[in-house]
Amino acid sequence: MSVSSSTTAGPGLCSLGVEPGTDRASGSASSNGLLWNQDTGPAGFAACGLDGQLRNAPQARDFVADTLSGWALDSLVTDAALVVSELVTNAVQHAVDPAAPGIGDYPVWLGIFLHPGDLVCAVTDPSSIPPRPHEAAEDALVGRGLALISALSDTWSWELTPPRGKTVWAALPLPPHGPDTA
């Protein structure tokens, strides 16, 4: 099953076994540069390369929604989309320096995969600086991302990713009944 999306917000590479520049479903050229296909990789794994811009958060949400729908896990879409949106936003705001040499076209990578009992959402970025939870003021418009991730996931953590950077991940419990049935 190939999954298509209505995402049109700029460049990104969301793919498993799809050549860059080809359409997700038909293999033709894609005009928005955002590609993915959940059929060509290992069962229960999908990855998405992002260009490190703020527009990547909605791209990540769409990627997760389409992927989980394809995996019959629609009941996880809302929480997983919020978690990856926060993970990607943190990576873009705090870890990507556009002026840094050698970050490449896709400095942020989102991976989602099924692990026994969990859906794991992981974002890799080029910075080795760990995420730092903090208390946001009541009237603050930012600063609650890690608290949201903590509230929605069973656990979250981070680790260094050689040769540089880190991966921040969160595990959301799978529904006890397995994939959603219609």
**Domain extents for the chain?**
12-20+33-173
Q: pLDDT, tens digit, for every residue of 166-178?
A: 999 999 999 987 6
Domain spanning 12-20+33-173, CATH architecture: 2-Layer Sandwich (3.30)
Ordered alpha helix ranges (H), 73-144: 77-94
Residue 147 contacts residue 131 (beta carbons within 8 Å) = no
Mean predicted confidence (pLDDT) in 151-173: 95
Considering the chain, what is the average pLDDT of its residues? Answer: 78
Asked whether the predicted pLDDT for residue 32 surpasses 90, the reply is no
The CA-based angle 5-106-128, given to 5 degrees, is: 125
